[in-house]
Amino acid sequence: MWGGRFAEGPSAIMREINASIPFDKALWRQDIAASKAHVAMLGAQGIVAAEDAAAISAGLDRVAAEYEANGVPENWDLEDIHMTTESRLAELIGAAAGRLHTARSRNDQVATDFKLWVREACVQADAALGALQVALVTRAGEHADTIMPGFTHLQTAQPVTLGHHLMAYYEMVQRDRSRFVDAHARASQCPLGAAALAGTGFAIDRHATAAALGFAMPTANSLDSVSDRDFALDYLMAAAQCALHLSRLAEEMIIWASQPFGFVTLPDSLSTGSSIMPQKKNPDAAELVRGHAGRIIGCATALMVTMKGLPLAYSKDMQDDKPPVFEAASLLALSIAAMTGMAAETRFRTDRMRKAVELGYATATDLADWLVRAADIPFREAHHITGAAVKLAEQKGVALDALSLDDLRAIDARIDSRVFSVLSVEASVAARASYGGTAPAQVRLRVAEARLALGLGEG
């Protein structure tokens, strides 16, 4: 490949450290597509004879068919997917294959291939997250009235509905989808034709190749074209944020499945057993999703550190851009699939949720608010009165609404029978009917909106 510049071939060490074919072979579809677009443009511009352009295009189709059937061979002497393809093309069609690389460099070639791959990864992530949203919305609709504890500091705070809780993750995933859509949009400029770093003296048509590959336009600066990896970082940042959300959902499933909570029974298909303890049903899929978040964040960090000190234009460090993106994409796809299955198939133990919310004195805030509204008591004093009521209920081992009127009046004589209208958990959640609140009516409204947005109909 290096022609007459070098008297000796690379050492074994150089051969091994320089070869990227073990991982960049994943770009073969993009490399074939970009090469076909490039040679079609060369033919149209008269830079390559029509018969050679046709032979090259047909030869690339044959190479693609071989890759599809048998995989991409790994010859480290050829270094990467680009030279592997060009070498095989030469074996198939002869000297005309050497015209394919006219007016391009491996620098703009790999930038184009990689950007095409990342754009497709953004589309795939968005679609997978849409399926997760469908699962979340479906279950939220089933449980718009199911009451459970809402937590702060992992302590029972106020009653909420399970549907409201699940729709919180719908909103997180919606933001995740928007980040992948934005990353795809920012990657809409095509680097092909920037050549090594300065452009080319051939009369190429970069707009034609950009359009053929589905880009909106060519990149505007040749130096930036070959040195930019923002599109990969955009993808990794979106993936890292998404992984954080998936990890939070996974963590809740892990906690809820534990015996002290017992809020859920996870599907057998996403759980494992113990090699020594027959009674165990371990939430391993959720735990691995939680673990994968750390690895995906590490992938984003790795590429940021690689790129942080590179001068313009291309440096070989950038060969290390693909492994973290490929790893993150694989881990993210598995994590989304696992949490989609978990959301769809988990059995919610609503009886345990109801018992927990009642014994957690979750309507204490409702009592304090009632004292402010109905008895005209300053909130700080109402807070103190409510704390005494909670302490009494705790001593008696009953829920707040199970205290008698005499019990409550013994704490403060200004309390009357109207207080019982706010002490039940049903009354508590129904009262939170502000926009975005946990009231069943609000949950159903948001579920209906989400179903329409997802193309599911009103349900």
Active-site positions read 153, 274
**CB of 336 within 8 A of CB of 180?**
no
Cα end-to-end distance, the chain, whole Å: 62
Asked if residue 393 has a cis previous peptide bond (ω within 30° of 0), the answer is no
Which residues does 194 contact at the CB level (< 8 Å), separation at least 6? 105, 107, 108, 111, 219, 222, 225, 226
**What phi, psi does 163 have (nearest 5°)?**
-60, -40
Rounded CA gap, 296 and 445, in Å? 35
Token pair in block for residue 457: 């109909």
Token pair in block for residue 275: 């090699």
Rounded CA gap, 48 and 100, in Å? 8
**CB of 388 within 8 A of CB of 409?**
no
**CB of 186 within 8 A of CB of 97?**
no
CA 379 to chain centre: 43
Residue 424: CA atoms inside 13 Å, Cβ hemisphere, count? Answer: 6
b/e sequence 309-342, b meaning 16+ C-beta within 10 Å: eeeebbeeebbebbbbbbbbbebbeebbbbbbbb
Helix (DSSP H) and strand (DSSP E) numbers for the chain: 19, 6
Rounded CA gap, 149 and 359, in Å? 10
b/e sequence 52-63, b meaning 16+ C-beta within 10 Å: bbebbbebbeeb
- The CA-atom distances, in angstroms, between 8 and each of 3, 15, 17 are 11, 12, 17
